[in-house]
Amino acid sequence: MQQLLQQQRQQELQQQQRQLPSLQQLCMGVLGRHVTELVQQLQGQLSWLPADVKAALLAVARRRGELTGAVLAALADAEWGCLDLAGCRRLNAAEVLAAAGSMPHIRVLDVTGFDQLSAGGWRQLARAWPRLAILRLGGSAAASREALRALPHILPGILPPGVAGAAPAGDAADASASTAAGGAAAAAAAAAGVDCLGSWEDAYASDNEQDEEDATTAAHQTDAQQAGDFSQSSTCTPQQQHQAAAAAAAAAGDCRLKELRVLVWPDVPAEALDLVQRRCPRVAVNPSLLPDAASGVLPPPEVDPRVPLDGPAMGLVGPAALQDLPEEGCSSCQPGAPGPSIADRFRAAYIEQAARLRDKERRLWQQQQRRQLRSSHVLRTLNAWLDEPA
């Protein structure tokens, strides 16, 4: 099967090489080879570039190992919905957090092998991108350790250790740096008896109720300061109320990812897996890549750790962007190098299974023939006559 998959991969690469790159791909290939110089010369003047072009340049910079804080800040775009920082070693957490404000709509994030994020950095990242739905992480022992420390603070339905009274010893410094508003919210949750809830659904509902109360209080206080009339808060549209709730949650120090649905964590620690399954089972950890049994729908490619998130963006870039890099150097910055598609893997598995079934049927037929020969005197005589020399 591995040989078949390798042959299919080689055929796909040959087909891609036969296709002539377009003029846009040629231009993007040249720009990609000089993305660092481009940012240095035009820093602050790249906002006019389309979002897909910026994403393509960022993907090239990541593969070339040139993704720095300056490059990320210059290319960050508000239209992006996914961000791939896997294997970036020239970035630090402060630079990512500084550029997070320019990308408020990130819903899919890959930080595999990104060791610079501490537990406190994870909480700030969750506060900056509260709408994350798919999160890729892990890749090293240090990254997994810090992510495990931050899990009780960022996952929905899991009580922060400060509320449940189970804070790890290593989080003492991070907990002391929390804001006074966050401490007040935690004390209010503890007074409301949140730590006595029996299920994650109750905890999640209680979180939403607390957020709504905080949002209502913040909205009334803001209206009173600006217009001196509390009645204005009752005329807000649902969208304005949702924005007010998000602002109040941020002001209260809430950093839990309420919309998180998938964690792609190939080297997930057993402790983290048990914690998620017990306290937040609606978040799937390393979901299956097979089609759904009922509907037959394939899972999205974002949940496959072998498929890079910025793979579609590389379709805009010509081969010149990576020609001067050695193959091992280029692949080292891609921990999730794309392999055969799910359809190709299913086709290869079907061919292999069909070959095994044919071989099994042949052996069964031979076994049945031998049994009949042993049980029938006529067949033995006929077989001996046929074997006699002429």
Determine whether domain 23-158+256-337 maps to CATH 3.80.10: yes
What is the residue whose two structure tokens read 């061919």? 351
110 has which bridge partners? 84, 136
Examine the pLDDT at 79 and tell me if it is beyond 90: yes
- Per-residue pLDDT tens for 345-377? 777 778 888 888 888 999 999 888 888 878 888
- 135 and 262 in contact (C-beta within 8 Å)? yes
What is the pLDDT, as a whole number, of residue 94?
A: 92
Residue 220 pLDDT > 60, yes or no?
Answer: no
The pLDDT value given to residue 321: 73
Mean pLDDT computed over every residue of the chain: 74
Mean pLDDT value of segment 181-195: 37
213 and 185 Cβ atoms separated by less than 8 Å: no
What is the spatial distance between Cα 74 and Cα 66, in angstroms, rounded to a whole number? 13
| Length of the chain as a residue count | 390
Distance CA 255, CA 230 (A): 28
What are the backbone angles phi and psi of residue 82, rounded to the nearest 5°? -140, 155
What value does the mean pLDDT take over residues 182-198? 37
pLDDT of residue 265: 93
Question: Does residue 22 have a pLDDT over 90?
Answer: no
In which band, very low, low, confident or very high, does the pLDDT at 1 lie, cut at 50, 70 and 90?
A: low
pLDDT of residue 107: 94
Tell me the pLDDT tens digit for each residue of 91-110. Answer: 899 999 999 999 999 999 99
pLDDT given for residue 194 in this prediction: 34
Weakest-pLDDT range from 101-110, 195-204, 208-217, 229-238: 195-204
132: left (phi over 0), alpha (psi -120 to 50) or beta: beta
Residue-level pLDDT at 247: 53
What are phi and psi for residue 194, nearest 5 degrees? Answer: -70, -35
Domain ranges of the chain: 23-158+256-337, 345-383
Among the residues of the chain, which ranges form H helices? 2-18, 23-33, 35-41, 51-63, 69-75, 93-100, 119-128, 141-154, 161-164, 172-176, 180-191, 200-226, 238-251, 270-279, 327-332, 342-375, 377-387
Tokens of 381: 């005589």
Q: Which of 111, 107, 116 is nearest to 134 (CA)?
A: 107
Task: Out of 28-32, 119-123, 286-290, 384-388, pick the least confident.
Answer: 384-388
